[in-house]
Structure 1
Amino acid sequence: MLHGMSTTVEFGSDRSADEVNEEIRALWRRSGGTLSVEQREEYQRLVLEWAAAAPGSQRAA
Structure 2
Amino acid sequence: MPTPPASPRAARSLAVVNEEIRALLSAGGLVSSEGRRRYQELLVEWAAAVRGDVTEAA
TM class by shorter chain equals 0.5 to 0.7
Q: Give the TM-score normalised by the residue count of structure 1.
A: 0.63
Give the greater-gyration-radius structure (CA).
2
- TM-score under structure 2 normalisation? 0.66
Distance 1:11 1:27 in 2: 23
Match in the other structure for 1:13: 10
Give the alignment's Cα RMSD to 1 decimal: 2.2
Identity value in percent? 47
Question: Any unmatched runs of 5+ in structure 2?
Answer: 1-6
Gaps of 5+ in 1: 1-9
Contact 1:11 1:49 in 2 (8 A): no
Higher relative contact order (CA 8 A, sep 6+): 1
4+ long deviations beyond 6 Å: none
Q: How many residues in Structure 1 have an aligned counterpart in Structure 2?
A: 47
